[in-house]
Amino acid sequence: MARKMLVDEEMNQTNQEEAHYDFDLFVIGAGSGGVRAARFSANYGAKVGICELPFHPISSEVIGGVGGTCVIRGCVPKKILVYGAAFGSELEDARNYGWELNEKLDFNWKKLLHKKTDEIIRLNGIYKRLLSNAGVKLFEGEGKIVGPNEVEVTQLDGTKLSYSAKHILIATGSRAHRPPIPGQELGITSDEALSLEDLPKHAVVLGGGYIAVEFASIWRGLGANVDLFFRKELPLRGFDDEMRAVVARNLERRGINLHPQTNLTELIKTDNGIKVTTDHGEELIADVVLFATGRLPNSKRLNLEAVGVELDNTGAVKVDEYSRTSIPSVWAVGDVTNRMNLTPVALMEGTCFAKTVFGKEPSKPDYSHVPCAVFSIPPLSVVGLSEEQAIEQANGDVLVFTSTFNPMKNTVSGRQEKTVMKLVVDAETDKVLGASMCGPDAPEIMQGIAVALQCGATKAQFDSTVGIHPSAAEEFVTMRSVSRRITCRGKPKTNL
């Protein structure tokens, strides 16, 4: 309530002082969070400016582009490459369905690359139109904060523009991080991986997270030899252990060489390619080495500390639960705050920001039941708690239901790859705490399951839901027998 009064008070001030500022809101960064916040704020009647660097469709040197990482050098181009890569195995599978593919299948990397780039250019145009249709003024240049209500935009020709704003929103995202090993400049990050001129013949990937697993799948699917190195026993730390093992098995079966508990120690340029040395003393030659070792907040070059905006030790902008920084007129959303680094989360944070500041409706982003997907081939998708998290947080029994089956499509195609599904349930309340699936269409299926979990669905309600037959998804409503019951007594009671 106090917070509401505070926001109302500020709104009144905004109205009184409107004339003193060039903008009600100036957004630095036109990615998912920034564009959403700008548009929604403008729809509430705010006068909004936004700045972003123009992007070069081929070069990955300039970090920028309206649409941001997701559209320009993240989710969208990656997913296009995943679709492209998945056709390889689909075409193989088609043979047992009667398709005669007599001629040697040929894959044209440059064609896929151009199609991908065309789509990015199209989406970049759509995002620009979304801004102009909402009445948001776009400035193409690099922004920085020069005071609590003052921004400066440096255009590509060096011209500097200064504007005052009642509120400033930092939405500058994150950028790929390279580990400090000798020869690291010979490797690439996902930025370059999305625009490689030639498809690698032999790729080395370092990392066990989303990007590592996804690019390993893409390149392998397109025919490259791939070696995947990661520090833990299994990839995808933080996901359900059982599902991590399923992903690892699938990657291996599809021909990716996994090197668990192994790091790279040096890269050296040779006549035959890049010589990669590992901490186990192995050496191999690759034509591409991808560092997929995480991303860091894009908070440098914004002059934040000089104006008193506090950062944490990773460089992330510190914000309260309404996305407000240590300077009351400055706010931040998306990866630059390093809360939950996913596009839909940045969209949620941008929406809540606009509601709070211009919609007279203080709104906190809700991080519960955020579903996500790793677009490996086949994909993994999850929502809610993993088995390990449920055990950690529960005080009482946790029931685990699993289903491992051969998808119907594989029975004819002959592909040896099981789909695995899992539900984690609180035995006392019967509430479904978490769901996971690794198999074709997992992300498409999981979105609906996320709605059920957000509504607090119980296992009994899952069971009373009629399935869609024949589908893989129907397994989620037919898992009758408990695979295991885990007693987690003695921990403080938490409300699951």
The two three-digit tokens of residue 339, written as one number:
């809360």
Return the SS3 of 24: strand
- Residues noted as catalytic: 469
Give residue 212's Cα distance to chain centre. 12
For 83, residues 6+ apart whose C-beta sits below 8 A from its C-beta are none
In terms of DSSP bridges, do strands 160-170 and 330-332 run parallel, antiparallel, or are they unpaired? parallel
Name which of 248, 251, 249, 205 is nearest 228 in CA terms.
205
Q: How far is the CB of 145 from ligand NDP (least distance, A)?
A: 25
Closer CB to ligand NDP, residue 235 or residue 359?
Answer: 235
Q: Which C-beta is closer to ligand NDP: that of 69 or that of 329?
A: 69
**In the complex, minimum distance from the CB of residue 153 to ligand NDP, in angstroms, rounded to a whole number:** 27
What's the closest the beta carbon of residue 45 comes to ligand NDP, in angstroms? 33
Nearest approach in angstroms of CB 379 to ligand NDP is 9
Could you tell me the smallest distance in angstroms from the CB atom of residue 208 to ligand NDP? 3
Would you list which residues are annotated within the binding site? 79, 143, 172-174, 207-214, 294, 335
Q: Please tell me the distance from the alpha carbon of residue 494 to that of residue 369, in angstroms, as a whole number.
A: 16
Cβ-based nearer residue to ligand NDP, 290 or 304: 290
Question: Closer to ligand NDP at the Cβ: 357 or 437?
Answer: 437
Is 153:51 a contact under the CB 8 Å cutoff? yes
Cβ atoms of 362 and 3 within 8 Å: the answer is yes
Closer to ligand NDP by CB, 292 or 420: give it. Answer: 292
Which pair of structure tokens corresponds to residue 222? 């397109």
Q: What angle do CA 114, 376, 229 make, to 5 degrees?
A: 100
List contacts with ligand NDP (CB under 6 A). 179, 206-212, 214, 230-232, 237, 263, 292-295, 341-342, 372-375
Q: Which of 135, 180, 179, 140 is nearest to 157 (CA)?
A: 140
Rounded to a whole number of angstroms, the minimum distance from the CB of residue 188 to ligand NDP is: 13
User: Could you tell me which residues are annotated as the binding site for NAD(+)?
Assistant: 207-214, 294
Give dist(CA 317, CA 334) in Å, integer: 10
Annotated binding site for FAD: 79, 143, 172-174, 335
| CB 334 within 8 Å of CB 33 | yes
Q: Are strands 295-297 and 174-176 parallel, antiparallel or unpaired?
A: antiparallel
User: Which of 211/267 has CB closer to ligand NDP?
Assistant: 211
Residues 136, 127 contacting (CB under 8 angstroms)? no
Q: Which residue is nearest to ligand NDP (CB)?
A: 209
Torsion angle in degrees (nearest 10) through CA of 359, 360, 364, 368: -60
